[in-house]
Structure 1
Amino acid sequence: MAAPLEERFRTVRDLLPEYRVEMLRGRIVVNESGTWQHNTVVFGIMRRLIGTVLDRGWEIWPNITVHLGEHTDRYVPDLAVVPGSPRMRMDHAVCGDSTTLIVDVVSTDSSYDDYYVKPQGFAAAGVPLYLVLDPAPRAAKLFAAPEGGKYGREIVAAGNESLFLPQPWGFAVQVGDLW
């Protein structure tokens, strides 16, 4: 008999600790580490966030599992910004509603999941802000105001436009500066 999905997920995660292993709608997804272009975008957003993060005593955690609830998916975003002493599910999993911002950089294999699958899971878990950065069109999409398992607002900025991050952030990110 096949092992339950959760057990198979843990086995794959344990066997491949250097990879990002996610569970998305009944699929176990193994992601390689990012390309230099991907990592440049991650660094760009980290550079913009770091002052506020340090001022408020928060932390930026790359590649941490976000716990969305029992018997649900397990997502591993590129960055999770957490307050001091966030609620943890396990040592490797922060509770979604205990984050201030989640960031994913789209790759060729992750586009559908980043734009459609993950926003549903993150909203249902109470993640306040989910930012998707897409290098191909040089655009950013912010999902905000989770309520009733969905995000109430979706804001898109491209090119040299500014994307305002609402409270608890309260500042704009120049999208063009991220590439």
Structure 2
Amino acid sequence: MRQNLRALYDHLVPHLGRWRAEILDGRLIVSPLGTPENQWMALLLADAFLPLARERGWRVYPGLDVCLPGSRDPFEPDFVMAPKDAPRWGVREVFTDGLVMVGEIVSPGSAEDDRDKKPGIYAGGGVPVMLLVDPLSEPPTVTVFSGLQDGRYTESASVEMGKSLHIPEPVDFELDTVIFLED
């Protein structure tokens, strides 16, 4: 079944244009890239981390095709930070275990997957840090998952949007989440 989904994914992706295709729990999920607000928040993340990334020889991407080693299950986080020479599968996909951090921005169509499934998926894929920007929660929050151990995150910290959030190693950065409240 998984091979058939991967084959369908490989066939569809070049033809989809500006759609996101991911395989989550054996489901092929094809969805629009997100609302303008979602895209704006991804750009704000990239802008906030760009100086740090340049200083350390990393790259930031508001959206990048990544895949889990072994399964090659594809994902497209809203934000990715990775070394410029992160290991790839072919020319398109970067392996998750070569990333520094991923970020997901919760939207109405992705809320359950982003909140409940993606932390486990990215931890299982070896991503040291995951950031979850949740403008839909009441109040809006930003959560960081870290402490990667045995394929799961052992630590998390949340703040209400507008407050500062420490992003732990290997990033070690203070993110002022007020950036998500600006118009």
Q: TM-score, normalised by structure 1?
A: 0.91
- What's the RMSD between the two structures over aligned residues? 1.6
Q: CA deviation at 1:89?
A: 1.5
**Unmatched runs of 5 consecutive residues or more in structure 2:** none
Q: CA deviation at 1:107?
A: 0.5
- The answer as to whether partners of 1:23 and 1:75 remain within 8 angstroms in 2 is yes
Report Cα offsets for 1:112-171 as digits up to 9, x if no partner.
111111111111111000111111232111111211121111111113321101122222
Report Cα offsets for 1:22-78 as digits up to 9, x if no partner.
111111111212222112211221221111011112111232222212236321101
In the aligned structure 1, how far is the partner of 2:28 from the partner of 2:97? 23
Q: Which moved more, 1:168-177 or 1:105-114?
A: 168-177
- The answer as to whether partners of 2:22 and 2:73 remain within 8 angstroms in 1 is yes
Partner of 2:114: 114
Aligned to 1:4, the other structure's residue is in SS state: helix
Report Cα offsets for 1:80-116 as digits up to 9, x if no partner.
1111211112211111111111011111011111111
- The answer as to whether partners of 1:20 and 1:32 remain within 8 angstroms in 2 is yes
In the aligned structure 2, how far is the partner of 1:88 from the partner of 1:72? 11
Partner of 1:154: 156
In the aligned structure 2, how far is the partner of 1:90 from the partner of 1:72? 11
- The answer as to whether partners of 1:20 and 1:33 remain within 8 angstroms in 2 is yes
1:95-174 equivalence runs, <5 A: 95-137=95-137, 138-174=140-176
- Counterpart amino acid of residue 178 in structure 2: G
- The answer as to whether partners of 1:160 and 1:176 remain within 8 angstroms in 2 is yes
Q: Which moved more, 1:96-105 or 1:137-146?
A: 137-146
Partner of 1:33: 33
In the aligned structure 1, how far is the partner of 2:169 from the partner of 2:151? 20
- The answer as to whether partners of 1:25 and 1:73 remain within 8 angstroms in 2 is no
In the aligned structure 2, how far is the partner of 1:71 from the partner of 1:33? 23
**1:175 aligned onto 2:177:** yes
- The answer as to whether partners of 1:68 and 1:96 remain within 8 angstroms in 2 is yes
In the aligned structure 1, how far is the partner of 2:174 from the partner of 2:132? 15
Aligned to 2:156, the other structure's residue is in SS state: strand
Q: Which moved more, 1:169-178 or 1:150-159?
A: 169-178
Aligned to 2:153, the other structure's residue is in SS state: strand
Partner of 1:17: 17
Higher relative CO (Cα under 8 Å, sequence separation at least 6) belongs to 1
In the aligned structure 2, how far is the partner of 1:95 from the partner of 1:154? 23
**Unmatched runs of 5 consecutive residues or more in structure 1:** none
1:48-63 equivalence runs, <5 A: 48-63=48-63
Aligned to 1:164, the other structure's residue is in SS state: strand
In the aligned structure 1, how far is the partner of 2:73 from the partner of 2:117? 10
- The answer as to whether partners of 1:73 and 1:121 remain within 8 angstroms in 2 is no
